[in-house]
Structure 1
Amino acid sequence: MRPVGWNESTQHTMTITHTETKALNLARGSDQHTALITDDGDLSYDDLRERVAARRDELGATRRLVLIEASAALEPVVTYLASLEAGHPVLLVEPTVQASDGGPSSDFEPIINRADALIDRFDPDVIARVDNNQWMLHEARPGTRHELHPDLAMLASTSGSTGSPKVVRLSRENVLSNASAISEYLELGAHDRAITTLPLHYCYGLSVLNSHLVAGASVRLTSRSVVEAELWDDFEAVQATSFAGVPYTFELLEKTEFLSRELPSLRYVTQAGGRLDPERARKFIQLGRHRGFDFITMYGQTEATARMAYVPSDLAETAVGTIGVPIPGGQFRIDSPPSSDVGELVYTGPNVMMGYGHGTQDLALGVSTTELRTGDLARQRDDGLYEIVGRSNRLAKIYGLRIDLDHVEQQLDAVGLSVKAVSSAERLKLFVTTERKCAPVADYATSQWGLPAHSVEVHVVAEFPRTPSGKTDTVALLRFANSRSAAFASPAADHTAETLRARIAHLLGTPHAVIGDSFADLGGDSLSYVEVSLHLEELVGVLPRTWPTMSMVELAEYGAQRRAVPSREIPRSRRRLTRIEVPIVLRAVAIVLIVATHGDLFFLQGGAHLLLVIAGYNLARFHLTNRSDRLRTRAMLASVASLAIPAIVWIGCVTLVASAYATATVFLVNNFVGSPQWTSEWRYWFLEAMLWSILLVVVLLAIPAVRRWERRWPFAFALAILALTLVVRTVALGGVHAEGTEMYALSTVAWCIALGWVIARIATRTQRLLVSALSVVCVISFFGQPLRAAIVIGGVLLLLWVTSLPAPRWLVGIIATLAGASFFTYLTHWQVYPGIETYSPLLATLASLVVGLLVWKFYTFIVSRARTLVRKATTDRAQRHHQPLGL
C-alpha cells in the first residue's frame, strides 16, 4: 500500500481509462449557499466544489476502484463526491468496528472489520482512510487491474445485515434518480438542513446526504449518537430541519429527553430501515402533530439504491403499519397466487441496481436485472397503500411447519416477551435478555406454533446485537447460537445426555429410549414424575418448568448452562437448602391433608380438589404435548390404565375379602349409577373424576377439527374447556354452591381438571393474572366453606406463580416420597385409618401414609419385574426365530 502519487516504471498493471464515462455531480447548490457544516465551520457549495476538484486531481484520470472508510466528516464526503465526479466507482465501508449503542455485546465474539474482508475480495486500487489521525489516500497500484463497466458508480455493501460478502452494483442513474426522487417527495429545498444521525456507509444514511446535496440543501456532519444531549444542542444551534432514524433510533429516543425537548426548526423526521412498532410510530406521529413536524415512514433496500416507497405526511396516522406508495418514478406489483391478495412485492424503477457483485470478475458486468424481487410479502389495501405482512426469506421450515420468523417476534412482543428469532437446521432459535423469560418463551413457542419442544432453543444474551445501521444482527445471533450448540455437541456433553437417558430409561423401564427423547415422549406420567424429577435434579440442578418435554440433549445443555454461570458464594446458612418443584410439594401437602382429615388428626378439607387441579396440570404437561396425535392418545390411555388397573385390583380384592363395595365402585363407575347420598361407595370419587376426565379428553381430541383448534390456540382452547365445564357445573348444581355429593360428582368437579389444564398453557403474565382472578371466582363460588376454599385457592395460586420452593435437603426426600406415593395412599388409606383413629389419630395418619408408601413400592417393583420378563421373553423369542428385535 503506497500513498497516491507513487509510481514505479516496472509496476505491471492494467491501466484503463474510460473517456466515455460521464461524471456524476451531486453537489448542485448555489455557490454561496452552505453545503456542509462541520465542527470546524461551514463550507459553501463553491468551497466544496473547489475541494472536490482538488481531490479529483489527486485521484487521477485513470478510472479506478476507490474504497472509502465513510465516517460523517468532511474528508470522506469530499473524497466520495470527487470519486463520483471523476467516474471512479466507490465502495463505502464502515471506518471501524462500532462499539457504541447497539453494538455487539460481550457475549459475542468480536466482529471482524468488514472493510478488511471487502479489501480482500474486491482488491480496491485506492483506499481512503484515516491513518495516524490524518486523512490519507493509499493506492495499491498506479493504475488498475480491474475492468470496470462504464455505468458502474458504486458498490454498496449489504453485509451489515445479511453477513453475505456480495455487494450491490449501482449505476450513476441509480444514485441520481433515487436522490432526486427523495428530494421531490420530501419537497427539499435550499432552506432544508439535515443532521447525520445514521452512518454514511449505510444506504439510508447516504441517501440523506445525496438527496440534500442534489436539492442544494445543507447537511450537518456529526458522528454523535441520538442519546447524546450535545447532538440536540448542535441541532438547535445550526437550525437543522430534519433527521433520519431506524426503529432502534426511536427506541433510544424514548429513553432520552427528546420527547420533551422543543426543536422549533424541525420540519420532518424520516424513518426506515425496518418495521417500527405501530404504537411507537403513533407516539411520534402525534408528537409531530403537537410540535409541528411531520413523521414520514419510508421503505427501501440497498438493491434499490435506498428508497422505494414512502407514506405521505397527510396519511401518516391512518397509514400506520404500511409502507405507503411508490416513490416518484417507481412502481410496485404483487406476485400472488390467484386465491390470495398476498404475495411477493416486486419493484421496478430507475433506481433498481445493476445486479450483485461477488468478486472482481463482476465489476465489468452490465445490467443483469430490471426489477427487484424484494423478498417481502405484501398486499395492497383498498386505499391504494401497500402493506408488508411478512418476509419470504424469513420463512423457516421446521418439522414440516412453515414458520414466519417476523411473525414469531411480533406475536411474542404482543404478549410482552421481547424476542429475536432465527432458524437453522430445523430449529427455532429464540433470544431473550433475561433468564426468567426462557421458560415462558419456550412454552409459548411450542404451544402456539405446535413445534416439538426439542426444536425450540432459547438463548440468553446481555443485549440484542445490532449492525451499525441499527438493525438486529441476525448473523451474530446465529453464530452465537451455533457456538453454544457446538459446545453442547462435544463428547463430554454427549456423555451427559447419555447419562440422563440411561437414568430415565431405568426409572421408566424404557431401554429403547434415545437422547432425543423427553420424559413425556417416553410415556412419563404423574406416577413416575416425582421420582424422575428428583433424579434429574441431582444431575442438572433445579429443573425448568418445561423439563417434561425437553429431550435428554436439551436437559444436558440446560445443566451445562447452569454450570457455566459463575457461582456466587453461598451463605453457610443456605448451603443446607435446595429447591423442589411446587407441584411435588402440593401433592405431598394435599395427601397429608386428606389422610389427616379422614383420620381426625385435624379437619382441613380441600386437598382432593387441589389434587384434581394438579392432575389437570400434569395432563397438559405430560400428555398434551406436541407429539403426534397417535402418540398423545396412546399416552393418555396408558395413563388411564396405570391408574385404573391398580385401583380396580385393590378395590376388587378388598371387596372379595370384606364385601366392602358394590361392583360399580370396583369398576369406578359409581358416579353414573351410585346413590346421590354420601355412602362408602363415594370414597373413590377422586379417582373416578381423574380417569373419566382423561377419557373425555381422549374422545374430544379424537375429532380432527378439535385437535387442530387445540394445537393452534392452546391457551384459548383450554380456557374454552374450563368455561364449558363451569357451564356444566352450574347446570348440574342448579345454582352456585355445591352441597353433599355435588362436591364430588364428575359433572361438578371436572372444572378442577380443566383449571389445571389452563394453568399449564399460560405463556404470559397477563394470562397468569387473568387465570388467577378466574381461579378465585371458580373456587369461592363452588365451596360454601371459607377454609376449604382458602386451601384450594392458596394451592392454585402457588402453582400459578411459583416454580419451586426452598427446602432443607433432609426434607426433600420426605416430600418427594409422600408425593410419589400419593395415589396409592389415597387408594389404600380407606382400609387403614378406620381401625386406628379412635385410639390415636396421629398413628392412624402415619399408618395410612406408610401403607400407601409400601404398596407404591411393591407395585413399582411388580411392574418393573413384569417389564423385565416381557423384554426377556421377547428377546428369547426373537433369538429362536433369528428375528431382529426392532428396537
Structure 2
Amino acid sequence: MTTQLDFLRVPFAADLASHGDSPAILTDNVAVTYRELAERVDDLAVRLGTERRLVALTAANNLESLVAYLAALAGGHPLILLPEDKPAALESLVAAYDPDVIVRSGNGRTVLEERRPGTRHELHPDLALLLSTSGSTGSPKLVRLSHANLQSNAESISEYLNIGPDDRAATTLPMSYCYGLSVINSHLLRGAGLVLTDLSVVDPCFWELFRNRGATAFAAVPYTFELLERVGFAGMELPSLRYVTQAGGRLAPEMVRQYAGLGRRQGWDLFVMYGQTEATARMAYLPPELAATVPGAIGIPVPGGSLRIDPVPGLEHGELVFTGPNVMLGYAETAEDLGKGRSIDELRTGDLARQHPTGVYEVVGRRSRFVKIVGLRVDLGQVERILADLGVQAASAGTDDGLVVAVEGDHDTRLLGKVLSQGLGLPRAALQVHAVEHLPRLATGKLDYQAVLALSRPEPVHAPADGAAAGPGSVRRIFEDALEVADIADGDTFVSLGGDSLSYVAASVRLEQALGHLPPGWHVTPVRDLEPRPRTAPARKRRRFFAPLETSIVLRAVGIVLIVSTHVGLFSWQGAAHVLMAVAGYNFARFQLSGERFQRLRRQLNSLARIVVPSMAFIVVAYLITDNYTPANILLLNAIVGPETVTTQWHFWFIEILVYLLLGMTALLAVPWADRAERRFPLLLPLALTGAGLLTRYELVNPGVPHTAPALWLFALGWAIARSRTVAQRCVVSAIAVLTVPGFFENVTRECTLLAGILVLIWLPSIPVPKGLRRLTVVLASASLYAYLVHWLVYPPLAGISPALAVGASLAAGAAYWALCMCVVNAATRRLTPSKKSHKRVPPSLLPNRLTGSQG
C-alpha cells in the first residue's frame, strides 16, 4: 500500500500559482486570481491528507467543487467525479468502490465526509481520475484516466484552440461531464480565465454575465444549438466572443454550415470536435475553415494523436481507431481494478468511419448501433436518418426482440410506422413508434436511448387524486369540452390539441373558475402542470364584485359592441376594428406558432377554415336576399377586385383583409427559411413585418388593395406584442405604437382608441370585469367575428324603431350564429376524428434534471 507522496501529480493543477494574479475564476460577484485559487487548493489538499486516498466528489459548476477537484489532482488522490444532482449515482458508486472520502459542496462550503483515516485500496501510481462512461452515471463501469492523460489532452486542446491568458471560457456544461471538464483543464493549463456558472444559455442572466466578464468562448452540445435558436443567439452582440466549440454528438451538417457562416460574419470561429470519455474528452477537431466544405466531418486528429480505420467484416465502412497519450488506462468495474495499470494502448471507438478526399475523417455510423431483428440487421442510425429526411426528429433504440422509435412532436405514428416497416423490411409487429413531447436526453445533452427503450414498457396506471382527472372542473374535461377531443395526455397543451383564438375564450373562463386564477401562458402549459392539486383544507373564499378577464377577451367584447353601435348609429366611436386587427395578430402568434413546421401549417389552415367557411356561408345568404353584395363578396375578393369607393360591398372588409393576412403569413411560414427565422428571431421577424406594413401606412408602397393600409402594420404589431417577453421589449413595441398611430386617421378620438387598445394589450395581462357582466363578456368575445358578419342584415330593419334594440338584436344574432357554427364544427370533428392520438410521455424518472428545463 502506498503511503508516501511518491506519485505523479497533474502539472496544471499543481502549478496554479505560477500564473500569479491573473484572473482564474470569475462569477457574477466574485473574481479569484490564480494565486488565490492555489491557496484554496493547497488548504483543501492539506485537509485531504498526505496519504493517497480514493475521493468521491459530487460536483456542480461552483468554486467549491472546482477547488476540491484541483486539490485531489494536486494532492495525487484518485478522484471519482460525479454530478451533484444524481444522488442515486453516488449511492451506486459508493457501494461499488467504497471511497475513503466523500466531498460535497454548496452554500460556499466544502464538506468532507471522511469514511476512514487512511485508505483500504490499492491505488495505481498513475491513476488520477475516474469518470463514468457516457450516459451511465450510475453504472459501476468507470474510465480510468492517468495524470498524463489529463495533462496531454489539456495541452493538445489548448494548442489547436490557441488558448491564451486573455481567454475566458464560460462553463456551459457540467464539470462532471468529460467535455465540460476538458474546457476547465485546457484553460487552467494556459492561465486563462473561467467564467464559472451553472446558468443555462436560455437564461438572459447567462448572456449578461458573458458580456460583463468578457467571455471569449463557450462549449456546446447539439442540444445547446436548439436552445440558441430559441433565444435569438444570432442577433446577440457578443464583442468578446472568439470561438464556439461543439462536441457531445453529431451536429447536423446544415447546422454546422449555418453557425460557421454566422461566426464568419460576426468574427468568431466554430470548432466542431469529436471525442469520448475513454480518450480524456477529445480525439479530433474540424478546422473552422473546413466547416463550409465538409460540415459532416469530425476533422483531423488532435495534436499528439493519430487515427486509422480498421476493416469490419461484413460492413462497408471500417472502425475508427485512435492512438495517443490521452487514451485511458482502461476500465474499472470493481474497487480491485483501481490497482491495475495500463491495459490498452489504443482506443477502438466503435464508430464506423471513412476518410474524405481532403484528408479529414467522417463518422458514418455506430458499430454497436445495430440490432438483429427476425434475422435482419438493422442500423439504428439509419432509422433516425430516414425520419430526419421526412422532417421528423427521432431517436431509435432496440433489442433483438424489436425496434422502439420516439418521434418528437405531434405525428401520425401509425403512418410513420408503416414507412419505417417498408423502408427497413421489418414486420410491422416488430416496430413501435411513440410520439413524445421532447426526445429524452441525458444531462450531457445526448439522446437517452434507455429512456427510448423504456417507452415499450407499459406505464403504471395511477388513480386520479381527489377525482380531479375526471371531474367536471378538471383541466382535461374543460379541454375535452372546448376542443371536442378525447384521450388527452399529461403532456398535451391547449395549443397542441388544436386550440385557437375562437375556442380560447370559453376554455379560459372555465379554467379560471376551476383553478381560481388563470396561470400565465396556460395555453402552452402541459395539462399535468395545470391540474389543481388537492387541498388539505378548504380555502376560504372572499366575496368579490370584480373578476379579472384576459385583456384580449375584453378587447374583443368591447370592440364588437363599439363597432356594431357605431354602424347602427346608437353612438359613434371609431377605431375598434383596427384594435381587433392587432388582437388578431396577437392571437395568431399565440395559437398558430407552436410545434414543428407541418404541425403549424395544419393548425393555420384549420384556423383559416373556421373563419372562411362560416363567412362565405353567411355571405351567400346575404347575396341571395339583398342586392348589396356580389359574387366577389362570397369569394372574399371584394377588397381586391371590388370598387375603390366605399359601398355596401365593403361591409366585410375586415374579414377579407384578415383572411389575406392569415393566408400570407401561413404561406410565408411554410417556407423553411422563414420558419427557421421565426424560431430564431421570434420578436425580430414580426418587427420586420411591422416595418414592411409601415411602408403602406406612410404610402411609400401601394399594396394594391384599397383601404387596407393599416392591416399588415397592426397585425404584425399585435404579433410582436405576443412575442415581447421583457419590459424592454414591451417598451420598444409601445414606442412603435406611440410614434406611428398619431396622424393616421386625422381623427383624434379614433387614434386615441387605437393607441389605448394597443397599449392595454401590451401592458395589462387582464382587466377587472364586474362579475355580473362576466358571462356576457365571454359570449360577446366568442361571437365577435360572427356578430360582425350578421349585423349587416339584422340592424337595418330595426334601427328606425330603436337603435338600442338593433344593437342588441345584432349581438344576439351573432351569438346564435356562433353557437350554430360551433355545433356544426364539433359534430364534424366527432365524425372525422373520433378520438385524438395521445402522446406517450417519457417516464419522469428517465428525464434529465438539467437539460429538460435549463442546462445547455
TM-score per shorter chain, which class? Answer: 0.5 to 0.7
Instruction: Report the more deviating stretch, 585-594 or 506-515.
Output: 506-515
- For residues 784 and 110 of structure 1, do their structure 2 counterparts lie closer, same or farther at Cα, with a shift above 3 Å needed? same
Find 1:812's aligned residue among 771, 774, 781. 774
- For residues 370 and 592 of structure 1, do their structure 2 counterparts lie closer, same or farther at Cα, with a shift above 3 Å needed? same
Find 1:691's aligned residue among 655, 659, 662. 659
Letter in 2 for 1:334: Y
Instruction: Report the more deviating stretch, 608-617 or 90-99.
Output: 90-99
Q: Is the 8 A contact 1:689 1:750 kept in 2?
A: no
Letter in 2 for 1:557: D
Deviation at 1:818, TM superposition (A): 1.0
- Describe how 1:628-647 pairs up with structure 2 within 5 A: 628-629=597-598, 631-647=599-615
2: CA distance between counterparts of 1:580 and 1:281?
A: 44
Cα RMSD after superposing both structures: 6.4
Deviation at 1:247, TM superposition (A): 0.9
Q: Is the 8 A contact 2:586 2:718 kept in 1?
A: yes
Answer yes or no: is 1:537 the counterpart of 2:512: yes
1: CA distance between counterparts of 2:102 and 2:614?
A: 83
1:6-57 CA distance string (max 9 Å, x none): xxxxxxxxxxx799x99337799xxxxx99xxxxxxxxxxxxxxxxxxxxxx
- For residues 826 and 503 of structure 1, do their structure 2 counterparts lie closer, same or farther at Cα, with a shift above 3 Å needed? same
1:417-448 CA distance string (max 9 Å, x none): xxxxxxx98789xxxxxxxxxxxxxxxxxxxx
- Alignment match, 1:615: 584
- For residues 174 and 651 of structure 1, do their structure 2 counterparts lie closer, same or farther at Cα, with a shift above 3 Å needed? closer
- Alignment match, 2:355: none
Answer yes or no: is 1:794 the counterpart of 2:756: yes
Higher CA-based Rg: 1
2: CA distance between counterparts of 1:249 and 1:871?
A: 46
- Alignment match, 2:361: none
2: CA distance between counterparts of 1:772 and 1:853?
A: 33
Letter in 2 for 1:247: L
Q: Is the 8 A contact 2:156 2:302 kept in 1?
A: no
Find 1:826's aligned residue among 788, 797, 809. 788
Answer yes or no: is 1:339 the counterpart of 2:294: yes
1:108-136 CA distance string (max 9 Å, x none): 99975988765532246x77999x99999
TM-score using structure 1 length: 0.53
Structure possessing the higher relative contact order (Cα contacts under 8 Å, 6 or more residues apart): 2
Deviation at 1:817, TM superposition (A): 0.9
Deviation at 1:695, TM superposition (A): 2.7
Find 1:671's aligned residue among 639, 644, 662. 639
- For residues 366 and 101 of structure 1, do their structure 2 counterparts lie closer, same or farther at Cα, with a shift above 3 Å needed? closer
- Alignment match, 2:253: none
Answer yes or no: is 1:282 the counterpart of 2:233: no
- Describe how 1:218-237 pairs up with structure 2 within 5 A: none
- For residues 783 and 278 of structure 1, do their structure 2 counterparts lie closer, same or farther at Cα, with a shift above 3 Å needed? same
Answer yes or no: is 1:572 the counterpart of 2:542: yes
TM-score using structure 2 length: 0.55
Deviation at 1:827, TM superposition (A): 1.4
2: CA distance between counterparts of 1:733 and 1:179?
A: 59
Give the SS at the match of 1:579.
strand
Deviation at 1:862, TM superposition (A): 4.8
Q: Is the 8 A contact 1:664 1:674 kept in 2?
A: yes
- Alignment match, 2:126: 152
- Alignment match, 2:438: 455
Give the SS at the match of 1:572.
coil
Give the SS at the match of 1:334.
strand
1: CA distance between counterparts of 2:691 and 2:155?
A: 61
Q: Is the 8 A contact 2:51 2:118 kept in 1?
A: no
- Alignment match, 1:233: none
Letter in 2 for 1:152: D
Deviation at 1:820, TM superposition (A): 0.9
2: CA distance between counterparts of 1:502 and 1:583?
A: 24
Q: Is the 8 A contact 1:355 1:368 kept in 2?
A: yes
- Describe how 1:324-335 pairs up with structure 2 within 5 A: 333-334=284-285
Instruction: Report the more deviating stretch, 73-82 or 692-701.
Output: 73-82
1:215-241 CA distance string (max 9 Å, x none): xxxxxxxxxxxxxxxxxxxxxxxxxxx
- For residues 178 and 718 of structure 1, do their structure 2 counterparts lie closer, same or farther at Cα, with a shift above 3 Å needed? closer
Deviation at 1:520, TM superposition (A): 3.9
Q: Is the 8 A contact 1:161 1:474 kept in 2?
A: no
1: CA distance between counterparts of 2:720 and 2:102?
A: 63
Find 2:707's aligned residue among 722, 745, 756. 745
Letter in 2 for 1:678: V
Find 1:247's aligned residue among 186, 196, 207. 196
Deviation at 1:667, TM superposition (A): 3.7
- Alignment match, 1:465: none
Q: Is the 8 A contact 1:127 1:139 kept in 2?
A: no
Deviation at 1:367, TM superposition (A): 4.8
Give the SS at the match of 1:805.
strand
- Alignment match, 1:555: 527
- Alignment match, 1:783: 745
- Alignment match, 1:588: 557
2: CA distance between counterparts of 1:27 and 1:867?
A: 68
Give unmatched runs, 5+ long, in structure 2: 12-16, 19-38, 67-82, 105-110, 166-174, 201-205, 218-242, 248-266, 273-280, 305-323, 352-383, 394-404, 410-434, 447-457, 835-856
- Alignment match, 2:809: 847
Q: Is the 8 A contact 2:5 2:51 kept in 1?
A: no
Deviation at 1:615, TM superposition (A): 1.7
2: CA distance between counterparts of 1:455 and 1:731?
A: 46
Q: Between the two proteins, what is the percent identity of the paired residues?
A: 29
Q: Is the 8 A contact 1:722 1:755 kept in 2?
A: yes
Answer yes or no: is 1:720 the counterpart of 2:682: no
Letter in 2 for 1:753: F
1: CA distance between counterparts of 2:691 and 2:142?
A: 57
- For residues 717 and 757 of structure 1, do their structure 2 counterparts lie closer, same or farther at Cα, with a shift above 3 Å needed? same
- Describe how 1:352-431 pairs up with structure 2 within 5 A: 353-363=328-338, 364-368=340-344
Deviation at 1:697, TM superposition (A): 3.2
2: CA distance between counterparts of 1:753 and 1:589?
A: 19
- Alignment match, 1:772: 734
Give the SS at the match of 2:285.
strand
- For residues 822 and 249 of structure 1, do their structure 2 counterparts lie closer, same or farther at Cα, with a shift above 3 Å needed? closer
Q: Is the 8 A contact 2:697 2:744 kept in 1?
A: no
Letter in 2 for 1:750: L
